[in-house]
Amino acid sequence: MTAPAAQDLVISPEVAAALKDGAPVVALESTIISHGMAYPANLEMASGVEAIIRDAGATPATIAVLNGKLKVGLEPGELELFAREKDVLKASTHDLPYALITKRPAATTVAATMRIAAMAGIRIFATGGVGGVHRGWNTSLDISADITELGRTNVAVISAGAKAILDLPATMEALETAGVPVIAYGTDTFPAFYSRESDLKAPLRLDSAADIAAFLDAKWRLDLRGGALIANPIPAEHEIPAAIIGGAIETALRDAKAQNIAAKAVTPYLLGRIVEITAGKSLAANIALVKNNALLGAEIAIALASR
Ligand code: PSU
Ligand code: MN
């Protein structure tokens, strides 16, 4: 725990006990709950993911801002609040002071969750898909602060590649510039969220949680600061064929443009619109890939804790 944040940080008793013992802990974000999926699927996802991590032998720590504190380890009632409440801020790292001083509930993005996890001493974090460089970046310059954070905070993020709504080649370039190692788990190509494969070759490939833990240990031992992106393909039985999801993404992007959706509203709008267009198929895929990432996150956290 970094001292200056101590007064702002509240760690649940369960997570605090695990951290004190050096036991494996997996951080989870809350933007995916409040802004990534609708109620009640979001609550089912959030509690299901926590259960998967517990069953695997690690402790889940869902992170959000509540009552002016950075909360690490939401209680079940708090998870429900973030799942149901409509008026929740979407907080990236730069929004955290605002969320603290207004005391409004704020769901944390990958970037903000990474930073809070690091303050608490958690090094492994599982989510669905990290943010990246949006299509049309040459006119909008919409590049997620998740990339900036991955470049500077020592937390590994397990993600199903990057969201297919993005410009994936540009996202890969931005990750490289930020100095973020991208490790595909058990595959040679970079996964594209709803699909197991993209046209992009993954920069690095590792085939076990133990190898990924060894990689992270070496990186941080050498004081090579920053995170790592662990790209875990969606399970085959839940994948949506590229031809189907590609059309849905194109339509959603056109609709976003027609409605002038901008800034932090872009990703939630696109994900929600794609759920409508695919009649719920993309939601089922999203939930399946998050659960799959949670399991790998637990395995990596366990391997790292035993080193
Ligand atoms: N993964 C999902 N659904 C989501 C997200 C990740 O399966 O909604 C969220 C994360 O919080 C990530 C955010 O940080 O999407 C990206 O938002 P933006 O593009 O505005 O940076
Ligand atoms: Mn953005």
Active-site entry in 29, 50, 80, 299? 29
What is the model's pTM? 0.97
Residue to probe by mutation, ligand 1, list 88, 146, 147, most atoms within 8 Å of CB: 146
Cα of 64 to ligand 2 centre, how many Å? 19
Residue nearest to atom 16 of ligand 1 (CA): 131
Beta bridge partners of 124: 156
What residue numbers bound the domain in which 211 lies?
Answer: 4-305
Cα of 60 to ligand 1 centre, how many Å? 19
42 Cβ below 6 A of ligand 1: no
Q: Which ligand is nearest to the CA of 29?
A: 1
Tokens at 90, concatenated: 């979407």
307 residues of the chain, pLDDT tens digit each: 445 688 999 999 999 999 999 999 999 999 999 999 999 999 999 999 999 999 999 999 999 999 999 999 999 999 999 999 999 999 999 999 999 999 999 999 999 999 999 999 999 999 999 999 999 999 999 999 999 999 999 999 999 999 999 999 999 999 999 999 999 999 999 999 999 999 999 999 999 999 999 999 999 999 999 999 999 999 999 999 888 999 999 999 999 999 999 999 999 999 999 999 999 999 999 999 999 999 999 999 999 999 9
216 Cβ below 6 A of ligand 1: no
Q: What is the DSSP string of 192-205?
A: BTTBS--SSBPSEE
Instruction: State the total domains in the chain.
Output: 1
DSSP assignment letter at 277: H
Cα of 109 to ligand 1 centre, how many Å? 6
Strands 9-11 and 25-28: unpaired
Q: d(Cα 155, Cα 118) in Å, to the nearest integer?
A: 7
288 Cβ below 6 A of ligand 1: no
Residue 201 a catalytic site member: no
Cα of 28 to ligand 1 centre, how many Å? 12
Residue 163 a catalytic site member: yes
Buried b / exposed e along 33-59 (16+ C-beta atoms within 10 A): bbbbbeeebbbebbbebbebbeebebb
CB 115 within 8 A of CB 149: yes
Here the CATH number for the domain that contains residue 269 is 3.40.1790.10
Residue nearest to atom 15 of ligand 1 (CA): 131
3-state percent breakdown (helix, strand, coil) of the chain, nearest 5 = 50, 20, 30
